[in-house]
């Protein structure tokens, strides 16, 4: 018998990866949820597909999907669909399912996902971490390299894009899955994210069921601004990817080096990049060190944070980390919630293109004066952040009391997946 869930209630969380092994925005949000619900005496069980189809298992060859299970922050193993049903049955004796959190549909078997969602009256909360529900490219990048705009996506508008052929099928599959929920809520981390999503799905769900829950809540005020007594310090913050502005950053670095301009350049993150005259500051934000990025940016006195996402961020933890260090934000008009927050808090510049920032860099005195004016305005960032518990409160408020609800769900679930009776637990060394 596997470890029992001792808590009175539990939620099921569905996403595309094991959050214990990754450090992306989705993983961070799930990790924070797990901690929040555990502290409220609610068990948190995550199911995530892995790419081990058609691999040999201990009972022979299996032709379906395999999934990792993580219960309350502890890795439970790898299961097939039937094994998941058995696991839920065994661990639900003294528990009651109160919610299903659909964080992401990527990599899931669509039929399996629908069976989990449709065979219960339990509320389903669909979280918008990116735009995968609109297009197979989660960042809405046309042909993987340029933001395609906030308008509604259709086959005609997307003609010429490598994702156009599958667009209608992808949309119909998403709509079918969401329609299978008896009670559906859409949870967005920002207003701009919800606006973009509703361009495609606006007629699909009532606005009253679309809620904006930022991942964090600000508290206090941090009144210390980075010093400007020497060279201006500019930092690239966070994940070093093309969609985060990697190539624009390298263009900036090359320009500063070629012109010999008086700037200090930094990179804060975990990538092992090597760029001339760029100082690398190793930073990895974890549950044990959630404020490491803020602490290091404050310590290093970073004047300017380069947050050049080329696609609309749904939230952007890095923006709020830079904000809490009182760094001046440089971004572009396509960066989604970064641009929206810069406009809201008046704590940076929203450029039309990278050449606008290069023009500013070419005039160090003008740039310095812009930074001085920013500091003098006193638009203080927060002292810190707390996890937003709105989703916990909503989940508790929405729970209902009918007896046997979870038993009916589990019984039907096992009957559905029994089509492939194979091993329940798969042992893999690399988890």
In a domain, 53, yes or no: yes
Task: Evaluate if residue 5 carries a pLDDT over 80.
Answer: no
Same domain, 245 and 145: no
Task: Evaluate if residue 81 carries a pLDDT over 90.
Answer: no
CA distance linking residue 381 with residue 409, whole number of Å = 47
In a domain, 223, yes or no: no
Q: What is the mean pLDDT of the chain?
A: 86
- Residue of 242, 248, 215, 220 whose CA lies nearest to 31: 215
- Residue pair 200/171 in contact (Cβ under 8 Å)? The answer is yes
In a domain, 201, yes or no: yes
Which residues contact residue 126 at a Cβ distance below 8 angstroms, ignoring those fewer than 6 apart? 102, 133, 178, 181, 184, 185, 186, 187
- Residue of 406, 430, 428, 425 whose CA lies nearest to 122: 406
In a domain, 431, yes or no: no
> Degrees (nearest 5) of the Cα angle 133, 137, 140?
85
pLDDT digits (tens, 9 = 90+) for 313-365: 999 999 999 999 999 999 999 999 999 999 999 999 999 999 999 999 999 99
User: What would the two tokens of residue 379 be?
Assistant: 């638009």
Which residues contact residue 282 at a Cβ distance below 8 angstroms, ignoring those fewer than 6 apart? 269, 270
N-terminal to C-terminal alpha carbon distance within the chain: 22
Same domain, 376 and 400: no
Which residues contact residue 377 at a Cβ distance below 8 angstroms, ignoring those fewer than 6 apart? 346
pLDDT at position 65, please? 81
- Residue of 116, 318, 291, 154 whose CA lies nearest to 220: 291
pLDDT digits (tens, 9 = 90+) for 11-56: 999 999 888 887 778 888 999 999 999 999 999 999 999 865 434 4
Same domain, 160 and 25: yes
User: What would the two tokens of residue 228 be?
Assistant: 């400007």
In a domain, 227, yes or no: no
Please count the residues of the chain. 431
In a domain, 224, yes or no: no
> Tokens 């999934």 sit at which residue?
67
Same domain, 47 and 126: yes
CB atoms closer than 10 angstroms to residue 333: 13
Q: Residue 146's domain is classified under what CATH number?
A: 3.40.50
User: What would the two tokens of residue 163 be?
Assistant: 């994702």
CA distance linking residue 222 with residue 325, whole number of Å = 8
Q: Percent helix, strand, coil in the chain (nearest 5)?
A: 35, 25, 45
Same domain, 399 and 357: no
Same domain, 263 and 158: no
- Residue pair 336/312 in contact (Cβ under 8 Å)? The answer is yes
Same domain, 95 and 193: yes
Which has more pLDDT, 134 or 428? 134
pLDDT digits (tens, 9 = 90+) for 66-78: 999 999 999 999 9
CA distance linking residue 343 with residue 337, whole number of Å = 10
CA distance linking residue 372 with residue 427, whole number of Å = 59
Q: Residue 274's domain is classified under what CATH number?
A: 3.40.50.2000
Residues paired with 279 in a beta bridge = 266
pTM beyond 0.85, yes or no: yes
Same domain, 281 and 184: no
Same domain, 44 and 117: yes
> Degrees (nearest 5) of the Cα angle 158, 160, 165?
65
Range of the domain at 13: 9-217+388-426
CA distance linking residue 405 with residue 154, whole number of Å = 39
Rounded average pLDDT over 114-141: 91
pLDDT digits (tens, 9 = 90+) for 181-195: 999 999 999 999 999
Residues paired with 386 in a beta bridge = 217
Counted domains in the chain: 2
**DSSP H helix total and E strand total for the chain:** 13, 21
pLDDT digits (tens, 9 = 90+) for 142-185: 999 899 988 887 777 888 999 999 998 999 999 999 999 999 99
CA distance linking residue 44 with residue 31, whole number of Å = 10
Q: Which helix (H) or strand (E) holds 184?
A: strand 184-188
CA distance linking residue 324 with residue 298, whole number of Å = 9
In a domain, 131, yes or no: yes
Distance of CA 35 to the CA centre of its chain: 16
CA distance linking residue 172 with residue 182, whole number of Å = 18
Cβ-based burial of 367 (10 A; exposed 0-12, middle 13-18, buried ≥19): buried
- Residues 56-89, buried b or exposed e (16+ Cβ, 10 A)? ebeeeebebbbbbbbbbeeebbbbbbbbbbbbbe
> Degrees (nearest 5) of the Cα angle 12, 18, 22?
135
Same domain, 284 and 413: no
Report percent pLDDT > 90 for the chain.
66
pLDDT at position 348, please? 98
pLDDT at position 115, please? 86
- Residue of 274, 261, 266 whose CA lies nearest to 237: 266
In a domain, 412, yes or no: yes
Same domain, 273 and 299: yes
Same domain, 127 and 31: yes
User: What would the two tokens of residue 171 be?
Assistant: 């949309």
Which residues contact residue 118 at a Cβ distance below 8 angstroms, ignoring those fewer than 6 apart? 180, 181, 182
Strand segments, DSSP code E, in 81-129 are: 96-102, 124-127
């Amino acid at each position: 018998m596997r470890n029992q869930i001792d808590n009175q209630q539990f939620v099921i969380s569905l996403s595309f990866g094991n959050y214990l092994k990754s450090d992306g925005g989705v993983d961070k949000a799930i990790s924070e949820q797990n901690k929040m619900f555990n502290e409220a005496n609610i068990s948190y069980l995550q199911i995530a597909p892995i790419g081990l189809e058609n691999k040999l298992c201990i009972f022979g060859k299996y032709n379906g999907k395999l999934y990792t299970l993580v219960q309350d922050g502890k890795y439970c193993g790898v299961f097939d669909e039937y094994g998941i049903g058995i696991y839920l049955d065994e661990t639900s004796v003294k528990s009651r399912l109160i919610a299903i959190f659909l964080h992401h549909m990527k990599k899931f078997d669509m039929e399996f996902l629908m069976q989990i969602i449709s065979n219960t009256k339990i509320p389903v909360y669909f979280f918008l971490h990116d735009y995968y529900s609109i297009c197979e490219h989660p960042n809405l990048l046309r042909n993987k390299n340029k933001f395609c705009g906030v308008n509604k996506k259709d086959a005609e508008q997307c003609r010429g894009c490598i994702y156009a052929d599958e667009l209608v099928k992808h949309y119909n599959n998403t709509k079918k899955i969401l329609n299978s929920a008896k009670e559906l809520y859409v949870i967005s981390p920002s207003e701009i994210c919800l606006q973009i999503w509703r361009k495609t799905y606006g007629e699909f769900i009532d606005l009253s069921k679309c809620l904006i829950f930022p991942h964090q809540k600000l508290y206090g005020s941090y009144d210390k601004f980075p010093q400007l007594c020497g060279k201006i310090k500019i930092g690239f913050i966070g994940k070093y990817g093309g969609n985060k502005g990697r190539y624009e950053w390298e263009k900036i670095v090359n320009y500063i080096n070629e012109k010999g301009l008086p700037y200090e350049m930094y990179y804060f993150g975990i990538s092992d990049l090597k760029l001339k005259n760029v100082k690398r500051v190793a930073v990895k934000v974890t549950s044990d060190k959630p404020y490491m990025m803020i602490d290091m940016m404050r310590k290093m006195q970073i004047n300017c944070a380069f947050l050049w996402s080329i696609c609309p961020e749904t939230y952007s933890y890095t923006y709020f980390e830079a904000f809490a260090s009182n760094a001046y934000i440089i971004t572009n008009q396509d960066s989604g919630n970064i641009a929206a927050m810069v406009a809201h808090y008046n704590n940076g510049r929203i450029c039309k293109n990278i050449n606008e920032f290069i023009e500013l860099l070419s005039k160090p005195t003008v740039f310095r004066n812009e930074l001085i004016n920013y500091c003098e305005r006193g638009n203080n960032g927060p002292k810190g952040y707390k996890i937003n518990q709105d989703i916990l409160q909503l989940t508790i408020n929405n729970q209902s009391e009918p007896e046997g609800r979870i038993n009916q769900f589990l019984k039907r679930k096992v009957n559905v997946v029994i089509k492939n009776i194979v091993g329940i637990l798969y042992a893999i060394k690399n988890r």
